[in-house]
Structure 1
Amino acid sequence: MTHSATAHQRPSIKNILSIAGSDPSGGAGIQADLKSIAAAGGYGMAVISALTAQNTRGVRAVHVPPASFLTEQLTAIAADLHIDAIKIGMLANAEVITALGDWLNTIRTPTGLAGAMVPTVILDPVMIATSGDSLLDPAADAALRQLFTHADVITPNIPELGVLARGAVAATWEQAVGQARAVAAEYRLLVLAKGGHLEGTSCRDALIDATGVLTEVSSPRLDTQNTHGTGCSLSAALATHYARGGHWPTALAQTKTWLTEAITRSDDLRVGHGHGPLNHLATLWDRAPEGAGEDPMPHWWEEITPILTGINQLAFITELSAGTLALEHFEDYLGQDALYLRGYASVMSKASALAPDEAARRFWAASAASCLEEELALHRGRLGNQLPEPSTATDAYLNHLSSSAHDYPVLVAALLPCFWIYQDVGRRLAAANHPEHPYADWLSNYASEEFDALTREAINITRDVLHHAEPSTRVSMWQAFEVSSLHELGFFAQTGADTEQQSDPVLTAQKAPAI
């Protein structure tokens, strides 16, 4: 792989416009949107549709400027700035909604203010108050539904989904999916069904069209009252990730990962005495030493999007998720995975020996022990002690890791995809698990809070090493990371369910990110 002078330039930052109400406490509305856009790697712009007097305990008053002033704000933005995606939030009345619809018509035609600009539109329909009362009168409700003709995705919560489907509030995930399909069919768009209002130990979110679930992600349900602005933040981050990558499943997975971390870290903040905000920028504040500049790790992840797409489309992954994967193909994979984990553990032991500090040494040593003690035990439970000969894909992956072991920075970058990609794949597989699934015991091990924590630590170690590395070493680290990611695709594709995937063009789609 060659690296030209332009290979090291940062990818262009996407411009994301939020049209929403203002929250002076900073947890929701425009303020939350701008933080979410920044955390997702976009440049945030804001047009305010309403002013509120509120804090973490509730809303005290709302002031809606004239609809003509909303149009003035929008016209000013479109006359000067390119817009890659639009997130729409609180719209208080029919006049404001109609004015926004008229403006969207102007920018979606060749004669519009900004030419043939057709940005992605994600609409978060703010319709139901926390109390359960409707926030929109009949005229505004009708106008909002008409505005859906401009939206690519809408992101209602469970009560709002019930209103849009003209039914009762869904009590189960299956009911929510059914309502989302009906809404998607009626308005010809994607619906993000969100399980935050449902009961259960996990929280599921899915992008749904008229045919059913396109992609689903899940996370453990977190015990916290700091959920103020969650819906605003999710839709703004989703708009940004999609604008950057152009792939809905990846955008949703990235958004869910960030949102879960932002909620998990919300207790680090001390804001108000009611329902507190998310910690939108926690991952940015976790960067390596001051002066490190922009976090490169999201760019690394974004650059392997074609590889991730290739993995997600494999028959092995889709059939394993559905429970239709043939046992022989599953056991073929397990045998190779057991062999791989032995070699992987050995290489992580080398990383422990090379690590420059005690914390990193302990991490790599503990991770090596985990491979041998926990995961191999699950393999032996299904395969016994009889393991196959290593396949070409397994040998190639392990040889790549071994060849990286001469240099600690290159080695940590080469090891990272087995954490990061497995976490990404595992989250979707775990979301598909159910007691009758033929591989339930295996899927239950794919996603856990413990492995999420290990993955975050592996990312943090790589980020820190990259920050202190020389430019030439950074290039070598990226190359090692990309090649390992390609080997992940090849490793998943090696079973009988996917032998034709070995020549998939994505295996040669190598592109250098900003480093």
Structure 2
Amino acid sequence: MSARVPRVLAVAGTDPTGGAGQHADLKSIAAMGGYGMSAVTAVVVQNTLGVRSVHVPPAEVLTAQLEAVSDDVVVDAVKIGMLGSVPVIEAVARWLAQHRLPVVVLDPVMVATSGGRLLEPDAEDALRAVLGLADLVTPNLQELAVLAGEDPAPSWTAALAQGHRVARTHDVLVLVKGGHLAGDRTPDALVGPGSPEPLVALDGARVPTANSHGTGCSLSSALATLQVRHGDWPTSLRIAREWLRGALAEADGLEVGGGSGPVHHFHHVQDALASWGTAPERFSEELWADSAGVRRQIEELEFVRRLGDGRLAPEPFLAYLDQDLQYLEHYGRALAQLAARAPDEASRRFFAAGSLSCTETEAQLHRARLRQAGRERPAAAGPTTRRYTAFLLAATAAEPYPVGLAAVLPCYWVYAEVGRHLQGLAEAAGHAEHPYADWLATYADEGFQEATRTARRLLDEAAREASPALRERMREAFLEACALERDFFAAPLEPPLAGTAAGPGGQGRAGAGAAGRLPRVGAIE
């Protein structure tokens, strides 16, 4: 297996509207960084509303196509889709037996979306005989039932059992897909002939769209391409699944056809295309744009407005400081955990210095102000504080280093932005006796601003080396922490806001947050 551009051959039928068959295959291969080639098994007259007719060229024409490719090009992987007749299936089987390709993915096109069988019984038998020449088979639930010679599975548990039986019978990996099951979840699992448990099982909420034409073709081609690059089927499946979910989520924007339209194969490159001719955006800037909604929610909180213009009563402010002091202890631990896992000495020094500043400098300032107000003993940590600290400690200890880094970044960046907003409110209020003027002045500390810039730079460096799937986990951690920041600011005066993770549309994920405790450390030397 190699990190070079995978050369992937799609053996499939056509779709003149571009959503399925080899048209979807070639798009998927390119989207996953491969070089796509194709051999036509059938000319299908179809659009998003349905299939009108099918012309199957002589099997000799298909054989000539396959040999023309393999005589000249080293083929790293082949994805096999529609094989409409016994002669066509046998031609592909002979070619596979002769060439022993590194990666073979078979998407057995056997059953129409309506449930009708697309192959005659003898062709179904011939296709079952080809399974042993494949590394991975990717049937939908109805096709899985045909391969097993059984009725379609009524549940996910039954589907998994059916997948295991096919894997054992044909000594092949089987991707069991739950997209055709009823309900709001879409599970997928990779099962093999040698294990009673799935090699990997993934689950997620169903993506709400009616435009899903070509999902099976697209997923199987993406898997073939990724497997050449990674050499690990579970990794390939995780990446391909995340990409396909994004393609489904953005499918409605294509506006192709009046029926079930295609998925958006290149959804993940739209931002890059938009930035051509300008300086490329950093990943941290993408995250910042995604968090716009939750940052607006923070600015609109009653606690933030009153703190900024000086109308906040002393008791809620002291309650905020009390919880923030307890947060600092755990946040310092989170930074220490991140320092221990940092990839280089400079990063380790940066996060270690931040941890020390939390526990020694920032905490002392909090204690002094609380003592002045007659609060010698801290209150119990509230649910907001507990949830946020638990999230940060888990992210910096159990998740990959880049995910932990994304989780702590809002503690720098969002807090700095809120500080600028608060200072603007204080200046607009205009009165000389602002009760929190000294506290708000700490936001302007240049060491704190420089630390924020350094944390952003470290995140961008980590993102450049991360896979698409890992960057998505980084995004989720960043947005979760932004929502937690919001809820901590909300806690002194009002209950946490409900919602889902902040994204471009401004929705917020339910959580809890904290603020007011950034380590004021300098940049990496």
Question: Could you state the TM-score of these two structures normalised by the residue count of structure 1?
Answer: 0.60
| Partner Cα separation in structure 1 for residue 401 and residue 102 of structure 2 | 45
2:269 is the alignment partner of 1:284: yes
Note closer, same or farther for the CA distance 1:183–1:410 as it changes in structure 2 (3 Å cut).
same
| Partner Cα separation in structure 2 for residue 28 and residue 382 of structure 1 | 42
Letter in 1 for 2:458: L
Quick check: 1:423–1:452 contact (8 Å CA) kept in 2?
Answer: no
Secondary structure, counterpart of 1:277 in structure 2: coil
Pairwise CA distance, 1:119: 2.3
Say which of 410, 427, 444 aligns to 2:457: 410
Quick check: 2:331–2:389 contact (8 Å CA) kept in 1?
Answer: no
Quick check: 1:40–1:237 contact (8 Å CA) kept in 2?
Answer: yes
Alpha carbon RMSD of aligned pairs, Å? Answer: 4.3
2:361 is the alignment partner of 1:378: no
| Partner Cα separation in structure 2 for residue 156 and residue 274 of structure 1 | 23
| Partner Cα separation in structure 2 for residue 425 and residue 409 of structure 1 | 13
2:264 is the alignment partner of 1:264: no
Match of 2:13 in 1: 21
Q: How does 1:166-315 map to 2 (within 5 A)?
A: 166-210=149-193, 211=195, 212-287=197-272, 289-291=275-277
Quick check: 1:284–1:295 contact (8 Å CA) kept in 2?
Answer: no
> For structure 1, which runs of at least 5 residues remain unmatched after alignment?
1-9, 109-117, 298-334, 351-371, 428-448, 455-515
Secondary structure, counterpart of 1:213 in structure 2: coil
2:334 is the alignment partner of 1:340: yes
Quick check: 2:239–2:468 contact (8 Å CA) kept in 1?
Answer: no
Secondary structure, counterpart of 1:207 in structure 2: strand
| Partner Cα separation in structure 2 for residue 147 and residue 101 of structure 1 | 6
Query: Greater shift after overlay, 400-409 or 93-102?
Result: 400-409
| Same amino acid, percent of matched pairs | 41
Quick check: 2:242–2:469 contact (8 Å CA) kept in 1?
Answer: no
Note closer, same or farther for the CA distance 1:82–1:450 as it changes in structure 2 (3 Å cut).
farther
Note closer, same or farther for the CA distance 1:147–1:381 as it changes in structure 2 (3 Å cut).
closer
| Partner Cα separation in structure 1 for residue 36 and residue 73 of structure 2 | 12
| Partner Cα separation in structure 2 for residue 149 and residue 59 of structure 1 | 30
Secondary structure, counterpart of 1:267 in structure 2: helix
Pairwise CA distance, 1:411: 2.8
Say which of 46, 65, 69 aligns to 1:73: 65
| Partner Cα separation in structure 1 for residue 200 and residue 25 of structure 2 | 24
Quick check: 1:217–1:252 contact (8 Å CA) kept in 2?
Answer: no
Question: Could you state the TM-score of these two structures normalised by the residue count of structure 2?
Answer: 0.59
Secondary structure, counterpart of 1:202 in structure 2: coil
| Partner Cα separation in structure 1 for residue 256 and residue 275 of structure 2 | 26
Note closer, same or farther for the CA distance 1:254–1:294 as it changes in structure 2 (3 Å cut).
farther
Secondary structure, counterpart of 2:208 in structure 1: coil
Note closer, same or farther for the CA distance 1:425–1:250 as it changes in structure 2 (3 Å cut).
farther
Pairwise CA distance, 1:339: 3.5
Secondary structure, counterpart of 1:106 in structure 2: helix
| Partner Cα separation in structure 2 for residue 134 and residue 272 of structure 1 | 25
| Partner Cα separation in structure 1 for residue 17 and residue 253 of structure 2 | 17
| Partner Cα separation in structure 2 for residue 296 and residue 140 of structure 1 | 52
Quick check: 2:247–2:263 contact (8 Å CA) kept in 1?
Answer: yes
Q: How does 1:377-456 map to 2 (within 5 A)?
A: 377-378=386-387, 407=454, 410-413=457-460, 416=463, 421=470, 424=473, 450-451=500-501, 453=503
Pairwise CA distance, 1:222: 1.7
Secondary structure, counterpart of 1:220 in structure 2: coil
Pairwise CA distance, 1:270: 1.0
Pairwise CA distance, 1:277: 0.4
Letter in 2 for 1:152: D
Quick check: 2:47–2:257 contact (8 Å CA) kept in 1?
Answer: yes
2:64 is the alignment partner of 1:35: no
Match of 2:140 in 1: 157
Secondary structure, counterpart of 1:79 in structure 2: helix
Quick check: 1:180–1:193 contact (8 Å CA) kept in 2?
Answer: yes
| Partner Cα separation in structure 1 for residue 73 and residue 189 of structure 2 | 32
Q: Which protein has the larger Cα radius of gyration, Structure 1 or Structure 2?
A: 2
Pairwise CA distance, 1:376: 4.9
Secondary structure, counterpart of 1:72 in structure 2: helix
Pairwise CA distance, 1:404: 7.7
Secondary structure, counterpart of 1:219 in structure 2: coil
Letter in 2 for 1:163: V
Quick check: 2:173–2:190 contact (8 Å CA) kept in 1?
Answer: yes
Match of 1:326 in 2: none
Note closer, same or farther for the CA distance 1:72–1:382 as it changes in structure 2 (3 Å cut).
closer
For these two proteins, the number of residue pairs brought into alignment is 352
Say which of 131, 150, 155 aligns to 1:148: 131
Quick check: 1:121–1:153 contact (8 Å CA) kept in 2?
Answer: yes
Report Cα offsets for 1:338-357 as digits up to 9, x if no partner.
9427998x98xx9xxxxxxx
2:94 is the alignment partner of 1:102: yes
Quick check: 2:238–2:469 contact (8 Å CA) kept in 1?
Answer: no
Letter in 1 for 2:160: V
Note closer, same or farther for the CA distance 1:130–1:11 as it changes in structure 2 (3 Å cut).
closer
Note closer, same or farther for the CA distance 1:153–1:203 as it changes in structure 2 (3 Å cut).
same
Secondary structure, counterpart of 1:45 in structure 2: strand
Note closer, same or farther for the CA distance 1:32–1:410 as it changes in structure 2 (3 Å cut).
same
Quick check: 1:85–1:121 contact (8 Å CA) kept in 2?
Answer: yes
Pairwise CA distance, 1:412: 3.0
Match of 2:82 in 1: 90
Quick check: 1:219–1:260 contact (8 Å CA) kept in 2?
Answer: no
Match of 2:36 in 1: 44
Match of 2:508 in 1: none
Secondary structure, counterpart of 2:61 in structure 1: helix
| Partner Cα separation in structure 2 for residue 66 and residue 295 of structure 1 | 50
Letter in 2 for 1:264: A
Pairwise CA distance, 1:374: 9.1
| Partner Cα separation in structure 1 for residue 278 and residue 125 of structure 2 | 49
Note closer, same or farther for the CA distance 1:394–1:100 as it changes in structure 2 (3 Å cut).
closer
Quick check: 1:253–1:424 contact (8 Å CA) kept in 2?
Answer: no
| Partner Cα separation in structure 2 for residue 74 and residue 452 of structure 1 | 48
